[in-house]
Amino acid sequence: MSQSFDTVGWFAREPTILVQVGTVLLQSSIGATAEPSCIVVPEDCFSTLCSPSDNISQILIKTVEKLFGGHLITQKKLGDYILHEVPSLGNFMIKRSGNQASKTIPPLQALSSAMLPLLSGRNHCNVSIVNLLAQSIDGHFLNSPGLLDYGVLALPTVPEPPPKLGLEASKLADYRAKAFRLLSIAGMSRFCQINIPLGFHENLPVSVSLLARNGADHFLLKFSQVLYGALREEAEKAWKGH
């Protein structure tokens, strides 16, 4: 993996432990707040890249409304926003049609395509070009006033239920490509990211990912700690009887 994507990550069963480890690894957390300035919920990602029956976006929205108020929630199409803010991504877009097009978000696909040369480092000329693109994304991607402060971008953690054993190669490759598109958002924007498990639905683990601007690690940890219990309770209510 490219050095520009080296990062520190850790797992914990309890949010308090996650925060404690983060405080040690990231050092001072003085002045960090747990109050978000806005929460962006991109419905195109949740409707296209995860199982509709999980109701992840609605679970998150209801939880935020209870804890912080609905005025903080912004719903937009992330694909359209990315393409508007970083039009140079159009060079990486692949035109699709019909049913195939309805299951993809082209700008996210372009984002992951742009990230691949950075990871492989094979073609130094292309890597230099894409590095400039990454800097552009870092400077403009989700460059709204809310996210520059203590804003949060919510995303599905995985694109759909995990692949089953013996799945044919083409479908497995498609799943991996979708998962990489989600990963590329944090990778190319240099946002920090935390994944919160919501519980089990239809015998499968479900979670939601929250991203914040580069440098807002302590805020994201504290915000997730506040959100965790209420989020799981809301998920349990939403899935009860399903």
Say which CATH class 16-25+33-239 falls into: alpha beta
Length of the chain: 242
In angstroms, the CA 25 to CA 40 distance is: 27
Between 229 and 23, residue with greater pLDDT: 229
Element (H, E) at 41: strand 38-42
pLDDT, tens digit, for every residue of 206-234? 999 999 988 889 999 999 999 999 999 99
- What is the predicted pLDDT for the residue at 183? 78
Element (H, E) at 42: strand 38-42
Tokens of 19: 């925060």
In angstroms, the CA 197 to CA 158 distance is: 12
- What is the predicted pLDDT for the residue at 122? 52
Q: Where are the alpha helices (DSSP H) in the chain?
A: 15-26, 43-48, 56-67, 78-85, 98-102, 106-120, 124-140, 145-148, 169-189, 217-239
Domain boundaries, the chain: 16-25+33-239
Stretch 29-54: mean pLDDT: 80
Between 113 and 175, residue with greater pLDDT: 175
pLDDT, tens digit, for every residue of 47-96? 876 676 679 999 999 999 999 999 999 888 888 877 777 776 666 766 65
Position 130 pLDDT exceeds 80: no
DSSP 19: H
In angstroms, the CA 117 to CA 166 distance is: 30
> For residue 236, what pLDDT band results from cuts at 50, 70 and 90?
very high
> For 38-67, b where at least 16 C-beta lie within 10 A, e where not — what string?
bbbbbebbbebbbbeebbbbebbbbbbeeb
- What is the predicted pLDDT for the residue at 219? 92
Average pLDDT, the chain: 77
- What is the predicted pLDDT for the residue at 208? 94
> For residue 125, what pLDDT band results from cuts at 50, 70 and 90?
very low
